[in-house]
Homo-oligomer: A and B are copies of this chain.
Amino acid sequence: MNLHDKLNALGSQRTDYRYDQPDAALLERFPNPYAEATINPHGVTGSLNITCPEFTSLCPVTGQPDFATLVIDMIPGAWCVESKSLKLYLGSFRMHGEFHEACVCRICNDLVTLLQPKWIRVEGRFTPRGGIPLWPTAEWRQPGC
């Protein structure tokens, strides 16, 4: 089986951007190449650093826009996240209202559900509101890792 047989977003005929609410179904995964013996005969260990500087959502109470750079660090297990689908998923927060902490918590959980990584950490570096930058972090480790 080819690693990308089931990907929809990447190279699709027409990408439909969804902006109304976070949609974990937009996320797509492909088999972690580090987990394939044909690709990784020596069993080298893999890890990932992903920086997403263009995250924006709305304040759940006032409706005003929030902006953040998300930094995702991960030791993948059986799956890797496809990056265009990650962009579409993060774009789906655009018109959605949720507190900084809840956004970061939700993103970390959706990635844990999708990928079952060995370890993952998501940090949201939000720009200041009222002169105060508030940066939440979420971290998860697979039991036994």
Contact = CB atoms under 8 A, between A and B. Distances in A.
Interface of A: 3-4, 7, 10-11, 13-17, 19, 30, 32-34, 39-54, 56, 58-65, 67, 76, 80, 82-84, 86-87, 91, 94-95, 99-102, 104-106, 108-109, 112-113, 127-140
B62 A15 contact: yes
A127 B131 CA distance: 8
A91 to B, nearest CB: 6
B132 A11 contact: no
B99 A30 contact: yes
Given A33-B101, A46-B138, 14 more contacts: A3-B99, A11-B62, A16-B63, A33-B102, A40-B105, A42-B113, A44-B138, A45-B138, A53-B127, A56-B65, A64-B87, A64-B130, A83-B134, A95-B95
